[in-house]
């Protein structure tokens, strides 16, 4: 039988091994970035929503002890007040966790949470983040983080920037950052966690992704900007439940970063196909909202949710065929990320609350305690893009050219509910029950209809059908 002393010895040995392994991974990345001895690697998170805060906290847990070699901080805007109901809930969370309670008492920080609970003091989001509490994820205390509210101070000397802003906020924030970096001799590496897209209709309809927004606004070389996506849930990652991610981008950085980011509970693979993975990461949020609605409207009927899953995934696969030259390479990651988001994500939660009447669309897509619901803007972007007649495809039953959105009834229903606001949430069920709805296999079995301009926006690249898998169309974004 193993005694307590032996258990402690084993734990200490495991910790020492992990620390040594962490030093090796950090040394590898420092060498690639050309960091001199005595010059710490500076990692900065921009945006402090649930996933952004957890991501920096995870790195802090893994490498925080090596503070002479690596320094981490996170930027969020100052001045965001914590309302009294949230402060009351936060107080309950603190008192339910002995480790957190002791830490705050040792820091002489507990009293301010007592005062906030009583309504005698106002807490701020950046203030509680320093103590390890993310406003969008109160129930999961993190490790304390170094929080900076001055953007220039946060990013001016960063070696690695982690973008965790909603896609709708990237342009204004990174335009500022680009001005701060004008005098830099070398640009940082940027890891974008953002989901969502912008639809640009002129001169040709195409998609702009978060990494492209960052390149446009900062002048950072495209090879220095990477995308990291799921499937994962922020709270589960921090609680050390198994999670998986892919880091996509240039070979120069992605393998070393995958090695650096990988943890025993957080498996990170690498992939060269940045743009299509990034777009699909935004697309699944669209259909997650509908999944939440269907679950709420049918009392969590397994059959109804299964039928919805069949139709929404067929639409996603169809859209993937429009966007990717080799969509079969995305099937696994796309379905896995979709599945976890439909099961347990803020977009599905939002759809559920709308269907139950506990939230109103008029309240907007930034929800207290949850942050930005990215699927709403993505619904508008994808719908506007795919309704363009210049992108016409052949209808599988009518045998005539139609805009691609005509083959996406779920997307159309969500657009009427969330953007036009002329249909109730129940319209999502009507879309499933429509007698004109055809078997989703028709979409999946259509001839390959890759439209290169959708990702690259090249005016001279015309619509072109690929007659067989052996045909090759060069995509200047992915290099395929």
Residue 149 DSSP label: -
Burial of 111 (0-12, 13-18, 19+ CB in 10 A): exposed
d(CA 104, CA 143): 11
Q: For the CA atoms of the chain, what is the radius of gyration?
A: 24
Of 246, 309, 329, 256, the closest CA to residue 281 belongs to 246
Burial of 233 (0-12, 13-18, 19+ CB in 10 A): buried
Q: Give me 159's structure tokens.
A: 């070696």
Q: Are 441 and 314 in contact (CB under 8 A)?
A: yes
Q: Give me 198's structure tokens.
A: 């912008």
d(CA 383, CA 427): 17
Residue 222 DSSP label: G
What backbone torsions phi and psi does residue 245 show, to the nearest 5 degrees? -150, 165
* Helix pair angle (4-33, 50-63), 10° resolution: 110
What residues form DSSP beta bridges with 243? 266
Please state the length of the chain: 480
Q: Which residues contact 21 (CB under 8 A, 6 or more apart)?
A: none
Active site members: 284
Burial 307-331 (b: 16+ CB within 10 A, else e): bbbebbbbbbbbbbbbbbbbbebbe
Of 48, 452, 411, the closest CA to residue 275 belongs to 452
Q: Give me 151's structure tokens.
A: 């953007």
């Amino acid at each position: 039988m193993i005694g307590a002393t032996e258990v402690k010895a084993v734990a200490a040995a495991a910790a020492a091994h992990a620390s040594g392994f962490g030093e090796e991974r950090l040394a590898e990345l420092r060498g690639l970035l050309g960091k001199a001895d005595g010059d710490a690697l500076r990692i900065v998170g921009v945006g402090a929503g649930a996933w952004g805060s957890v991501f920096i906290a995870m790195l802090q847990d893994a490498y925080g002890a090596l503070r002479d070699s690596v320094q981490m901080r996170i930027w969020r805007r100052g001045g965001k007040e914590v309302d009294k109901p949230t402060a009351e809930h936060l107080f309950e969370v603190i008192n339910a966790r002995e480790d957190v309670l002791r830490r705050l008492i040792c820091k002489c920080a507990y009293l301010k949470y007592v005062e906030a609970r009583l309504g005698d003091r106002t807490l701020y989001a950046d203030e509680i983040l320093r103590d390890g509490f993310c406003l969008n994820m109160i129930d999961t205390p993190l490790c304390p983080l170094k929080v900076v509210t001055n953007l220039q101070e946060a990013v001016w000397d960063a070696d690695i920037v982690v973008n965790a802003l909603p896609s709708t906020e990237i342009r204004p924030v990174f335009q500022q950052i680009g001005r701060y970096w004008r005098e830099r001799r070398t640009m940082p590496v940027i890891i974008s966690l953002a989901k969502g897209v912008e639809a640009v209709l002129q001169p040709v309809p195409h998609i702009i992704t978060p990494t492209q927004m960052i390149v446009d606004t900062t002048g950072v070389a495209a090879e220095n900007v990477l995308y990291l996506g799921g499937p994962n849930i922020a709270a589960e990652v921090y609680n050390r439940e198994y999670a998986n991610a892919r880091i996509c981008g240039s070979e120069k950085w992605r393998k070393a970063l995958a090695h650096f980011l990988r943890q025993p509970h957080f498996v990170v693979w690498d992939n060269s196909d940045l743009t299509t993975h990034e777009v699909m990461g935004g697309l699944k949020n669209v259909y997650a909202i509908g999944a939440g609605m269907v679950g709420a409207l049918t009392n969590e009927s397994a059959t109804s949710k299964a039928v919805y899953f069949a139709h929404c995934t067929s639409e996603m696969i169809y859209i993937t065929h429009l966007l990717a030259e080799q969509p079969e390479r995305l099937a696994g990651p796309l379905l896995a990320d979709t599945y976890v988001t439909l099961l347990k994500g803020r977009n599905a939660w939002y759809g559920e609350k709308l269907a139950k009447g506990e939230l109103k669309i008029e309240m907007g897509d930034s929800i207290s305690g949850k942050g930005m619901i990215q699927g709403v803007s993505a619904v508008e972007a994808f719908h506007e893009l795919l309704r363009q007649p210049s992108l016409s495809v052949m209808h599988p039953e009518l045998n005539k050219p139609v805009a691609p959105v005509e083959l996406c009834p779920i997307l159309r229903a969500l657009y009427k509910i969330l953007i036009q606001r002329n249909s109730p949430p129940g319209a999502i069920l009507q879309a499933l029950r429509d007698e004109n709805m055809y078997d989703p296999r028709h979409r999946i079995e259509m001839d390959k209809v890759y439209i290169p301009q959708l990702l690259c926006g090249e005016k001279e690249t015309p619509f072109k059908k690929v007659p067989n898998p052996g045909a090759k169309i060069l995509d200047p974004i992915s290099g395929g």
